[in-house]
């Protein structure tokens, strides 16, 4: 289950931009929320929808998430992705991070990269009180 995805300097996202499926404290539609059962659990929405005007970045959210999956499985697409186009820094660094739940545990996996390769990669186990670094990688 995806809890949050964050993108920076990739496709149409210049500044750090997040989409979150973490539930708020509201109680109007309790059937729509998977409520925390234990102290360290995080309440999440059961279903999420991405909608908006044309050219607002909807498909870029999907493309960036697919790019993270592609890189994580060992297929770095050198030159096959686009940093934010309206600025021209030398060797721009892009960032993608995704927070998810699997097997009753919560993780944050992300990386910083450029067209030259991965700069940094991380995996944290997270809960409501602390974060634990699982696998620090520097390239």
What residues does 108 pair with on adjacent strands?
99, 124
What architecture does CATH give domain 2-138? 3-Layer(aba) Sandwich (3.40)
Q: What does the pLDDT read at residue 6?
A: 93
- Rounded alpha-carbon distances, angstroms, from residue 68 to 61, 110, 117: 11, 8, 13
Q: What are phi and psi of 113, to 5 degrees?
A: -155, 165
Task: Map out the domains of the chain as residue ranges.
Answer: 2-138
* Digit-coded pLDDT (tens) for 26-72: 667 677 766 666 666 677 777 778 888 888 888 888 888 888 888 87
Confidence grade of residue 10 (pLDDT, cut at 50, 70, 90): confident
Q: What does the pLDDT read at residue 86?
A: 65
């Amino acid at each position: 289950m995806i809890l949050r995805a964050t993108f920076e300097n990739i496709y149409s996202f210049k500044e750090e931009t997040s989409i979150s499926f973490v539930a708020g404290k509201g109680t109007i539609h309790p059937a729509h929320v998977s409520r925390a059962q234990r102290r360290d659990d995080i309440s999440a929405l059961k279903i999420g929808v991405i909608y908006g005007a044309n050219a607002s970045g909807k498909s870029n959210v999907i493309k960036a998430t697919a790019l993270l999956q592609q890189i994580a499985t060992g297929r770095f697409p050198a030159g096959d992705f686009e940093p934010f186009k309206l600025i021209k820094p030398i060797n721009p660094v892009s960032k993608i991070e995704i927070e998810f739940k699997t097997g009753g545990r919560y993780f944050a996996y992300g990386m910083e990269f450029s067209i030259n390769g991965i700069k940094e990669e991380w995996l944290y186990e997270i809960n409501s009180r602390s974060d634990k670094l699982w696998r620090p990688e520097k390239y």
